[in-house]
Chain A
Amino acid sequence: MTNASGSAVAERLSVGEVELEVLRRGSGRPVLLLHGLSTIDPRARFLDLLGRTAEIIAPSHPGFGLSSRPADFETVYDLVHFYLEVLEALPYEKVALMGFSFGGWLAAEVAVKCRHRIDKLVLVDALGIKVSDRETPDILDIFNTSPQEVLRRSWHDAGLAPDPNAMSDDELIVRARNWDAACLYGWHPFMYNPQLKRWLRRITTPTLVVWGASDGIVKPSYGRAYSALIPGARFELIERAGHHPEIEQADTFAKVVGRFLDR
């Protein structure tokens, strides 16, 4: 891994054939943060709160944000192996791995495969498994649901959602890249790997599963089921938060996660 830029906010890194955009914040124990359906807003408060005791390394997945995506790199299989490569390239023997939503799916997959590079695992409103029966979707299909309904089910207080009218052109272009990339990787089956549930038992890393109590994208009951499949995992519900507890309840979120990481 080579550092191509000295910017304090976003760096460019080359990993294999990918030009990766990486957000870095804070200092302390290294935390590799895998974002969800959207890239992480560098202005988000939780970054500063966690950054007091952790060095946060938050890449934009290939195809998301300003990260490149090689031709035919378009499966979760690619992403999982890509992040295994990133783990090997980081200058740390072990890191804490934290994933939000779609990134939580990636983090769970990586943790199943790689136990020697990860010392803590945090899954936040994670996607990736199938829990309910065949006629009950666990994960709201954001590509087949009205935008108002997606908004309503994503947030405890939809007033905290980013307002497209207040975003710059560049931010909106990133939003569209994120949207297309999420669809490319997660369309079918929608945002889960049918085999993953079976293998979650391989995760021996201490694991915290954090969930927004008002999450309508993936409900807390799904989070509890997810947590129960990972040996020894702890489940923490954050009240008054939807799919993004790190945004809606940044202080509580940072406290819960910080406590787990510092243990």
Chain B
Amino acid sequence: MDAWWQCEVPYPFVPQDVLTATDSVRASLPNRYCDPKIAADLFEEVIDEFLLCDDLGMNVLAVEHHAGINSLLGANPLLVGILARQTRQVRILSLGTLISLRQDPVRVAEEYATADVISRGRLEIGFVKSGGSEMASNNANPVNNVERYWEAIDLIKKALSHQDGPFSWEGKHFTHRHVNIWPRPWQQPHPRMWSATGDPETAAEVGRRGMVHVLVLRGPEGTKRAYAAHRKARAEAGLPKVTTDNFAYAAFVYVGDTDEEGVRVGSKLLWFLHTSLKSAPQYSRFLPGNSPPPAAPQLYRTAPPAGAAPGGAVLSAGQNAARLTSISAEQAMAQGILFVGNPDSVYRQVMDFYDKVGGFGHLSLVGRSGFMTHAESEKSIRLFSKEVLPRLREIKPVTVD
């Protein structure tokens, strides 16, 4: 198993009364609350943490989110470019430029090819469907987002791998009269591709395409279901079986010297759920295209219909959000989204999850969030790299039925 360290560069330094009063900490919170000097310090610390990972042999992962306290990484290719030059040995996963939000996938292909060349072939390309407040921040129609996602991937893949002079593209969402990127990528035909998704339809397509399939904070049941949809789609398409190397899982991870320290400091990661998810209803439950129309009764009603039995099995979207925003460390650990403790405990929690979902080949560590300090973050990186990662590396890819 391989490991990938990530930090979304959150910006937690907004007064609590402002966060309480606003209906959304994403998309619409005025950027006067973001002090560029503090932001510069955060970037410096986080990039240093990525470089420490490079020294210690842990791969790095760069995300993208827009216009909110949850992340200052609105421009993923910029960080990827920095990491391509400043790291020297580890692999770099972009997860990823939010391609369904970008108007020109060819430009994305150019950025990725350039980073792959600068890093001399250490880039991996991940694609994320995006959604929520990102659609407003990027002017992107939420209804046909998934269609744009796949078409952009097709175009990027062709732009990266086509070596015979200009080709043209007249797709549904993207047109380009003349595609011929320079440089072409270092890795041939193109860097390995990843996709982050949990719903069964997209999971099946990820499987048919043979991409690395990453689930983020999904817990064992949802993760297992998505991996299964991936494998089932491959089998139905007559494609060869894949190994656990095709599956990845992202969770909050913190390693301390002791369990007490691991849980205490690692609990700071839950700021992401407690504080940074707050999103106005127009960006969440009422976002067009976000839920199939048959889910509407649950989304629109604020009170149960007359005569309905109390305590239905399915939580409403509001109830689900409330559950996440008030989740405790114990609950998060039990749900397989928080792996914290001393090195032995973290290893055990990872492997317990591994067994529950039928195996995976990549662990992505959401390793720093909220008010966690640079020193705390570096401590976990060191402990994980030295005490946990060598043991995970012994878990070799196996074919999964």
Contacts and interface: CB of A to CB of B under 8 A. Distances in A.
A128 B195 CA distance: 38
A161 interface: no
Interface stretch (A83-91, A138-146, A152-160): A138-146
B144 A180 contact: no
B16 interface: no
Contacts of B294: 173
Given A146-B280, A188-B139, A180 B289 contact: yes
A184 B172 contact: no
A47 to B, nearest CB: 24
Contacts of B302: 164-165
B286 A184 contact: no
Nearest to A182: B288
B143 A187 contact: yes
Contact of A180 (B139, B143, B297): B143
Nearest 8 Cβ contacts at the A-B interface = A183-B288, A176-B296, A164-B300, A176-B293, A187-B141, A184-B143, A172-B296, A169-B297
A260 interface: no
B310 to A, nearest CB: 16
B257 interface: no
Interface in B283-318: 286-289, 291, 293-297, 299-303, 305
A176 B289 CA distance: 9
> Which range contains the number of B residues in contact with the other chain?
20 to 34
B343 interface: no
Interface of B: 23, 136, 139, 141-144, 172, 280-282, 286-289, 291, 293-297, 299-303, 305
Given A165-B301, A176-B296, 7 more contacts: A143-B136, A143-B142, A146-B23, A146-B281, A147-B281, A176-B295, A184-B289
Interface of A: 72, 74, 143-147, 164-165, 167, 169, 172-177, 179-180, 182-184, 187-188
Contact of B288 (A74, A143, A146, A165): A143
A183 B172 contact: no
Given A144-B282, A146-B282, A147-B281, A184 B141 contact: yes
A172 B143 contact: no
Contacts of A143: 136, 142, 282, 287-288
A164 B303 CA distance: 9
B60 to A, nearest CB: 34
A147 B287 CA distance: 11
Most buried by B among A145, A174, A175, A183: A183
B293 A173 contact: yes
Nearest to B142: A183
Given A146-B23, A172-B301, A179-B288, A72 B172 contact: yes
Contacts of A182: 288
Given A72-B172, A183-B141, A176 B282 contact: no
Nearest to B23: A146
B300 A167 contact: yes
A64 B302 CA distance: 23
A173 B295 CA distance: 7
